[in-house]
Copies of this chain bind each other. A is one copy, B any other.
């Protein structure tokens, strides 16, 4: 087992399994050939061909697209094709910097292979030169990665919020980190992966932040999404990452990125180039 096992777990992508999903001329996602036929019933919303799915061109506004897709998703949910409904709307756009063409329920994003975005916080405590990381154990009721280890704070990026504001909100809900502390979180880059998962196709960019947490602060969950917090030396966290899949698939990458940036992995590590490249797939 190695860092590369965690990297490769986020690079399970067979292009032939998917067909592109278009809104007008813009490819906005990828849909599993096995799922696409379920969209054929919604003739006013989707046009399903052998090699592509198109949103109906008659849906000519953000609102019209959002409402039509929402109606279809409600039916697909009742049919059992969408699990883990969140009641959170996500933007659907070709890239983070291009305008969203509509918004859709978060749980459906991977089924349409639409790009997803999240904010992840590395909460660390310094004990002299030794770095400790706060690690959360996800609630067993979470629809994705129940019981898996995770960052102290992590959340999806919904529509209509700045990233930093979303991070501050998640800090409060997930770990009772007060806004004045959360505001000190430092943006440290992104990572990206493109991978097939049970829930569908994940084409995600994560925005990572580092926050030095005072030694006398203990996180406390308030939204029921975290069962337990641990404060472990980075060395121990990296050992868990290398030898188990106890961390949620994408949270492992966030830890590896942290370990790279903080010099915890030597440049002469035989997989160094592949590890860093593997954190940036798109």
Of residues A192, A266, A267, which shows the largest number of chain B Cβ atoms within 10 Å of its Cβ? A267
The 0/1 profile, CB within 8 Å of B marked 1, for residues 148-176 of chain A is 00000000000000111000000000000
Segment at the interface with B among A63-71, A231-239, A268-276: A268-276
Kindly list chain B residues whose C-beta atoms are within 8 Å of the C-beta of A192.
277
**Cα distance A261–B276 when bound, in Å?**
14
Q: Interface residues of A: mostly helix, strand, loop or mixed?
A: mixed
Q: Say whether A266 contacts B187, CB under 8 Å.
A: yes
Number of interface residues of A (CB under 8 A): 35
How many copies of this chain does one complex carry?
Answer: 2
Check: A10 CB closer than 8 A to any chain B CB: no
A126 at the interface (CB under 8 A from B): no
Are B96 and A188 within 8 A (Cβ)? Answer: no
**A86 part of interface (Cβ distance < 8 Å):** no
In the assembled complex, how far is the CB of residue A255 from the closest CB belonging to chain B, in whole angstroms?
A: 14
A27 at the interface (CB under 8 A from B): no
How far apart are the CA atoms of A280 and B186 in the complex, in Å?
21
**Chain A to chain B: the 10 pairs with minimum beta-carbon distance, closest first:** A186-B263, A280-B280, A187-B267, A163-B267, A96-B273, A190-B276, A207-B267, A189-B260, A162-B268, A189-B276
Q: List 28 A-B contacts (CB under 8 A).
A: A95-B273, A95-B274, A96-B272, A96-B273, A97-B270, A97-B274, A119-B267, A163-B267, A164-B268, A186-B262, A187-B260, A187-B263, A187-B267, A188-B260, A189-B260, A189-B261, A189-B276, A190-B272, A190-B276, A190-B277, A192-B277, A205-B273, A207-B272, A209-B267, A210-B263, A261-B261, A276-B280, A277-B280
